[in-house]
Copies of this chain bind each other. A is one copy, B any other.
Amino acid sequence: MSLVLDRTAQDLLFREAHTANTFTDEPVTEEQVQAVYDLVKYGPTAFNQSPLRVVLVRSAEARERLVRHMAEGNRPKTSTAPLVAILAADNEFHQELPALFPHYPQAKDAFFAERPVREQSAALNAALQAAYFIIGVRAAGLAAGPMTGFDSAGVKKEFLDDDHTPLMVVNIGRPGEHAWFPRSPRLPFDDVVTTV
C-alpha cells in the first residue's frame, strides 16, 4: 500500500463516503461547522487568497427562500437536510491579501488589480476550498450533498451581492434511509493519467 493515511481515514473521507440525498433529523451544530472550518481553512489556495465564503441557511424563512431557487429535483433534500450551506466565491478577496499573504503584500495590486482576473482566480480557488469543505464535512462524520442545480442569479440576489458568485449549495447532516445511489463507476487510471 503506497498511502500513509490510515485505512479508516481513507474510508471516512473517500472510499465509504457518498453524496447523501436523505438525512436524519439530528441537527448540525455550530461547533461542528467551526471544527470543519478550523481544519479545512489550511487547504492551499493561490497566494493564500482564501476566497470561499459560506452562508449557513438556518432559519425556516431563509430555507424557504433558498428552496425556491433550487432545481425541482433538489428541492425535497434541500427542504429536509438539517443544515444547508451556500458556498460562494468572493471576487473582492484581494482586499484581504496584504493580511493573508504578508511576505508579499504587493500581490494585491501586482496581480489582482483587475476584476476579471480576480473573478477567474476566485472561481478556481473557491472551488478548491469547496472540495476541502466537503472533505471536512466528512471528517466531522457527516454526509455532504453538494448540488449545482439551482438558479444562480436567484441565489445571488437573495443571499449574496454583486461581489460574490455562488458555486454550490451543500446539504449537510447524518445520512437517512436510502441516502444514496449505488456507487457509480469511476474512470480507470489509464483513461485519466498519461505520461510524457
Task: State whether A34 and B2 are in contact (beta carbons under 8 Å apart), knowing that A14-B39, A48-B184, A196-B55 are contacts in the complex.
Answer: yes
Total number of A residues with any Cβ neighbor in B under 8 Å: 83
Q: How many Å lie between the Cα of A31 and that of B183 in the bound state?
A: 24
Task: State whether A29 and B2 are in contact (beta carbons under 8 Å apart), knowing that A57-B196, A184-B101, A192-B54 are contacts in the complex.
Answer: yes
Which of B14, B31, B99, B144 is the one whose CB lies under 8 Å from A2? B31
**Pairwise interchain contact B38-A159, C-beta atoms closer than 8 A:** no
Which of B9, B40, B46, B167 is the one whose CB lies under 8 Å from A9? B9
* Interface residue? A76 (CB, 8 A): no
Q: How many Å lie between the Cα of A127 and that of B44 in the bound state?
A: 13
Smallest CB-CB separation from A128: which chain B residue?
Answer: B131
Smallest CB-CB separation from A138: which chain B residue?
Answer: B5
* Interface residue? A175 (CB, 8 A): no
* Cβ contacts under 8 Å, A127 to chain B: 123-124, 127-128, 131
Interface code A60-81, partner B: CB below 8 Å = 1, 0 otherwise?
0010000000000000000000
**Pairwise interchain contact B37-A193, C-beta atoms closer than 8 A:** yes
Smallest CB-CB separation from A1: which chain B residue?
Answer: B35
